Amino acid sequence: MSPPPSDARPPLTVLIAAPRGFCAGVDRAIKIVELAIEQNGAPVYVRHEIVHNKFVVDRLAGMGAVFVDELDDVPDGRPVVFSAHGVPKSVPAAAEQRGLAYLDATCPLVSKVHRQAQRLIETGRQILFIGHAGHPEVIGTFGQVPVGSMTLIQSVEDVAELTVADDENLSFLTQTTLSVDDTAAIVAALMARFPTIKAPRGEDICYATSNRQAAVKEIAPRCERMLVIGAPNSSNSLRLAEVAQRLGTPSRLVQRASEIDWDWFGTPATIGLTAGASAPELLVREVIAALAERFTVTEHELAHVPEGQVFKLPRELVG
């Protein structure tokens, strides 16, 4: 169906969440792959999606990155980059054994959780880890400690069903990209059941995840629909759609403008728009352009304090 002529397009106010999109960890991971290609020539191998965004992955593939599932798929003599979500210890160990040059694009905030896990295990504590089964970050963090020394908690119900060896020797840690509200409920349940449980030093849910959820909370009550640009396997993007949905705003995750379901979208007066931490701003503009083909769009971006977080690149790349 062709778009209506411009004078017949209904008005639509688009409230654009801020902050949104790329975080410092994603930005760093992408730069690591770009610089690795620049300095080593193509191909540079990347174990798993460097970040959970197809657009980003396709662009890097076009520059000479080859995405593989396992280290065994990397030929001898070529460099390999580990994704922003982190990897089990066994992965760099296997790369070293094969003499592969590797670059670790693990977000420094994920590495911080890895270090906390290792320290807790060294002091003999049992760790309860709040996270989502199967997420690469969870697999990476579990891979820092001996099998059986950390237990995954996914819900308040899990807390009730838990059996532990020693109530007095527990600590908890969390994945960086969780729902702030769900995690608070799980932590409250843990504290209620195990009053002496040790909390992490500082917050494990990262600044980018918390800030993007707070921005959605601010605009969602004023919106009839919420569009979240992000991949279906992106934990922080899924959480953004969930936050809006819980506030009563029907929400959809879309990877690109072409995925907008216009029947579901309808003819709202005001919508919200945001992007997960691995979605580039270019896709936000693409969605607004698609909206402008059907509506007379007025954009309002939320006022916010810039995040200003920057992570250093690995020494191997910057000399």
Q: Kindly list the residues in this chain that would bind ligand SF4 in the complex (CB under 6 A).
A: 23-26, 84, 107, 109-110, 176-177, 206, 208-209, 236, 277
Min dist. Cβ of residue 133 to ligand SF4 (A): 18
| Catalytic residue selected from 49, 70, 137, 281 | 137
- Do 183 and 130 contact (CB within 8 A), yes or no? yes
Min dist. Cβ of residue 11 to ligand SF4 (A): 34
- Give the residue with the Cβ less far from ligand SF4, 26 or 80: 26
Catalytic residue flag (residue 307): no
- Do 87 and 47 contact (CB within 8 A), yes or no? yes
Q: Give the C-alpha separation, 246 to 267, whole Å.
A: 21
The phi and psi torsions of 251 (rounded to 5 degrees) equal -135, 145
Short-list 229, 238, 119, 227, CA closest to 177: 238
Secondary structure element (H or E) that encloses residue 146, with its range = none
Shortest-Cβ-distance residue relative to ligand SF4 = 25
- Give the residue with the Cβ less far from ligand SF4, 26 or 159: 26
Amino acid at 153: I
Min dist. Cβ of residue 163 to ligand SF4 (A): 30
Residues forming beta bridges with residue 67, ordered by sequence position: 46
Q: Give the C-alpha separation, 125 to 117, whole Å.
A: 9
- Give the residue with the Cβ less far from ligand SF4, 112 or 294: 112
Tokens 């349940």 -> residue: 189
- Give the residue with the Cβ less far from ligand SF4, 26 or 279: 26
Q: Could you tell me the sign of the dihedral formed by the alpha carbons of 118, 89, 150, 208, in that order? A: positive
Min dist. Cβ of residue 174 to ligand SF4 (A): 11
Min dist. Cβ of residue 210 to ligand SF4 (A): 9
- Do 252 and 224 contact (CB within 8 A), yes or no? no
Q: Give the C-alpha separation, 250 to 266, whole Å.
A: 11
Residues forming beta bridges with residue 130, ordered by sequence position: 153, 174
Q: Give the C-alpha separation, 149 to 8, whole Å.
A: 63
- Give the residue with the Cβ less far from ligand SF4, 35 or 290: 35
Q: Which residues are catalytic?
A: 137
